[in-house]
Amino acid sequence: MKIALRVIATLFVIASPWVLYWTLSRHDVGVAALTLIGWVIVRTIPILLAAEPQHRAVALRLPLIALVFAVLGWVLDNSVCLMILPSATQATFGLAFLRSLKATPMIETFARMVKPELGPGELAHCRQWTRVWGVYLLVLAAFGLVLAEWASLKIWTAYVGIASYVLVGALFAVEYVVRKLRFREYGRNPLDWVLAKLFPPARSR
Question: Residue range 37-62: average pLDDT?
Answer: 75
Asked if 62 and 90 sit in the same domain, the reply is: no
Asked if 190 and 101 sit in the same domain, the reply is: yes
Asked if 49 and 141 sit in the same domain, the reply is: no
Asked if 199 and 107 sit in the same domain, the reply is: yes
Domain housing 116: 84-205
Q: Give the least confident one: 40-49, 107-116, 145-154.
A: 40-49
CB 31 within 8 Å of CB 22: no
pLDDT digits (tens, 9 = 90+) for 143-197: 999 999 999 989 999 999 999 999 999 999 999 989 888 888 877 888 888 888 8
CB 73 within 8 Å of CB 29: yes
Count of domains observed in the chain = 2
In terms of Cβ atoms closer than 10 Å to its own Cβ (0-12, 13-18, 19+), residue 149 is exposed
Residue at which a domain ends, from 82, 116, 139: 82
Asked if 101 and 167 sit in the same domain, the reply is: yes
171 contact partners, CB below 8 Å, separation of at least 6 = 132, 133, 136
pTM of the model: 0.82
Neighbours of 94 (CB within 10 A): 20
Asked if 41 and 95 sit in the same domain, the reply is: no
The SS3 assignment for 187 reads coil
Asked if 77 and 99 sit in the same domain, the reply is: no
Q: What is the Cα–Cα distance from 49 to 36, expressed in whole angstroms?
A: 20
Q: What is the Cα–Cα distance from 133 to 127, expressed in whole angstroms?
A: 10
Residue at which a domain ends, from 52, 82, 112: 82
15-32 burial, b for 16+ CB within 10 Å, e for fewer? ebbebbbebbeeeebeeb
Residue at which a domain ends, from 82, 101, 116: 82
pLDDT digits (tens, 9 = 90+) for 170-179: 999 999 989 8
The DSSP secondary-structure symbol of 189 reads S
Asked if 13 and 74 sit in the same domain, the reply is: yes
Q: How far apart, in Å, do the first and last CA atoms of the chain sit?
A: 46
Asked if 167 and 78 sit in the same domain, the reply is: no
Q: What is the pLDDT of residue 96?
A: 92
Neighbours of 123 (CB within 10 A): 14
67 contact partners, CB below 8 Å, separation of at least 6 = 37, 40
**Residues, the chain, total?**
205
| Helix axes 29-50 and 2-24, enclosed angle (nearest 10) | 170
